[in-house]
Amino acid sequence: MLLLQLEDIKQLLTNVGEKNFFLQLIDTLQSDYKRWFEFDKKPRLASHVDLGVIELMPISNALYYAFKYVNGHPKNPQKNKLTVMATGQLSLCATGEPLLYCEMTLLTALRTAATSAMVAKYVANKNSSVLALIGTGAQSEFQYLAYSFIFDLQEVRYFDIDDHAMQKFATNMAKFEIKLTACKNATEAVIGADLITTCTADKCQQTVLTKAMIDKPVFINALGGDCPGKTELEKALLEDATIVVEYLAQTKIEGEIQQLNDDFSCVELHQIISQQVTLNVQTQGTIIYDSVGFALEDYAILRLVYRLAQQYQLGQQIDMIPHLTDVKDLFSLLK
Ligand SMILES: NC(=O)c1ccc[n+]([C@@H]2O[C@H](COP(=O)([O-])OP(=O)(O)OC[C@H]3O[C@@H](n4cnc5c(N)ncnc54)[C@H](O)[C@@H]3O)[C@@H](O)[C@H]2O)c1
């Protein structure tokens, strides 16, 4: 079984190059979303605890079985711990043999950003040049990076209720050639934006964006509402827009659409990727990608890093599964 730790993923990104990695990841996501009906899918299994949630996210097709363990604890930064931490595994379906055990905190940020950019590539205005980011925590720079490989971004407008997070974002972004506009609130941040990502964390129903704040048709990627009772958008904004979800069975429990009655309509992402449905901000008006994070995205990045790690000979073989001369003699391990 191959073990990929953080250092291995960092090395892999250096070897492949960030842009090349994101583009390969978007290709892999597209190819897996196109094969939607091959997958055995289920909503993730969530255990709600006092200060957050702990989730298991399984998925499989004929080749691989993948799962991710992930948490969401919005108050963790007060204890100097990440809000979202994750590990994952990839196994071979033919035998059930675990192939890969992998860090997935960094991979979650990468796959979430790549999926955001992939959806935007299909439905946002092709000339989008202004990105607004509400919430400049752990996910934020990754969001910028992925969009920057798809769109010719000229400006990033950003806001966070935490000054330290705003400062950290400005410091990390200084190396990119892009106009950075720090804003006093979310209303100011979304002025003139073509693309908006909300990536705030709070275990409650917040109203980070309202219908009144949006002055032209935009692509909104709502990332932070991903749990029952945890949302970011005003209901009136949802009611007025076209909504894209990853997997309705999961999103109706966890996404922004938990605020709506059962009679609303939405499009599943695979329908767009397979070009069964064509949506665009220019023709439909505002489009909301109500992202909660789906297991297929973890499957896609796990199979990609597994292949690349073998190509670049990264990671370490670990002894987690017995290799026996006589496979019926497990007892020999005690001798
Ligand atoms: N959809 C997905 O696939 C996916 C993947 C990863 C994370 N997430 C979610 O995205 C969110 C962000 O994750 P993170 O790892 O960046 O968390 P984080 O805790 O590192 O950052 C969240 C930031 O939001 C800010 N914030 C909270 N309320 C705000 C408000 N009203 N206005 C402006 N800023 C506000 C906080 O100050 C913090 O800096 C979380 O809710 C997480 O659960 C979703």
Q: Give one DSSP letter per residue of 284-297, joined into a string.
A: H--EEEE----HHH
**CATH class in words for 2-106+296-334:** alpha beta
Q: Where in the chain is the domain with CATH 3.40.50.720?
A: 116-293
Residues with CB under 6 A from ligand 1: 72, 74, 77, 83-84, 108, 112, 134-139, 159-162, 165, 186, 199-202, 206, 208, 223-224, 226, 291-293
Distance 57 CA to ligand 1 centre (A): 20
Query: Would you state the pLDDT for residue 84?
Result: 98
Query: Would you state the pLDDT for residue 263?
Result: 87
The angle that helices 140-148 and 105-123 make with each other, rounded to 10 degrees, is 40
Distance 226 CA to ligand 1 centre (A): 10
Please name which of 193, 194, 134 lies closest in space to residue 166, comparing C-alpha atoms: 134
Q: From CA 42, how far away is CA 81, in angstroms rounded?
A: 29
Q: Where in the chain is the domain with CATH 3.30.1780.10?
A: 2-106+296-334
Tokens of 312: 């670049």
Q: From CA 99, how far away is CA 29, in angstroms rounded?
A: 20
Contacts 24+ apart (CB under 8 A), 207-215: 207/232, 207/233, 207/234, 208/134, 208/135, 208/232, 208/233, 209/134, 209/233, 209/234, 209/237, 210/234, 210/236, 210/237, 211/236, 211/237, 211/240, 213/186, 213/187, 214/190, 214/286, 215/191
Residue whose CB lies within 8 A of the most ligand 1 atoms, among 139, 184, 185, 196, for a mutation test: 139
Distance 130 CA to ligand 1 centre (A): 20
Query: Would you state the pLDDT for residue 43?
Result: 97
Q: Which CATH superfamily is domain 116-293 in?
A: NAD(P)-binding Rossmann-like Domain (3.40.50.720)
pLDDT tens for the 335 residues of the chain, in order: 999 999 999 999 999 999 999 999 999 999 999 999 999 999 999 999 999 999 999 999 999 999 999 999 999 999 999 999 999 999 999 999 999 999 999 999 999 999 999 999 999 999 999 999 999 999 999 999 999 999 999 999 999 999 999 999 999 999 999 999 999 999 999 999 999 999 999 988 999 999 999 999 999 999 999 999 999 999 999 999 999 999 999 999 999 999 999 888 999 999 999 999 999 999 999 999 999 999 999 999 999 999 999 999 999 999 999 999 999 999 999 97
Instruction: Please tell me the pTM assigned to this model.
Output: 0.98
